[in-house]
Structure 1
Amino acid sequence: MRRVSLREANQKFSSCIAEVESGESLVLVRRGKPVARIVPYAEHEERDLKHEAAVHELEGFLKKGIDLGGVRVDRDELYSRGR
């Protein structure tokens, strides 16, 4: 992942986009600190689908609850005990 200053990205935007189209990911930096990432669209889309599937799986797990030796504890129970 190549680091690119915001100034360089502004001045050479077309070449930055060409790099991303060829599969390269770029990290945009301001004064040496990362502020954004530009990634190829397909890579980003695949990550979103994996994230969405993981969130869906976690939601199901939380709705089902956790078996603690015969006592079932769900998300709402844990939340109310934490207060």
Structure 2
Amino acid sequence: MKTVTFTDFRKKVSIFITEVEHGETLVLLRRGKPVAEVVPFFDRSGRAPSWKKSGIHLQIDGSELSSAILEERESEI
């Protein structure tokens, strides 16, 4: 990880982007405080989005969870 002032980054952006292409991570500083992180791009197209992954299937022995919830709601009335 390399820290770079924002002014230097603006002046030498091409050099720094080449470094990022080769795996370097840059932390940009403005007035001595970190304001941004420039990281190499990682192609995630091979992974399925989290909303497509199968979730947890809850079940109570002998009945479905939804039926148990409805029975509990009715008993509270």
- Report the TM-score range of the alignment, normalised by the length of the smaller protein: 0.5 to 0.7
Q: Number of aligned pairs?
A: 63
Higher RCO (C-alpha 8 Å, min separation 6): 2
4+ aligned runs moved over 4 Å, structure 1: 52-57
Q: Unmatched 5+ residue regions in structure 1? A: 65-83
How high is the sequence identity, in percent, across the aligned residues?
40
Give the TM-score of the pair, scaled to structure 1.
0.53
Structure 1 CA distance, aligned partners of 2:30 and 2:24? 20
Q: Does 1:27 align with 2:27?
A: yes
The structural deviation recorded for 1:53 is 6.0
Deviations 1:9-55 (A, max 9, x none): 000000000100111010101011110111111x3x45xx98x9678
Cα RMSD after superposing both structures = 2.7
Higher-helix-fraction structure: 1
Give the TM-score of the pair, scaled to structure 2.
0.56
Q: Unmatched 5+ residue regions in structure 2? A: 58-77
SS at match of 1:17: helix
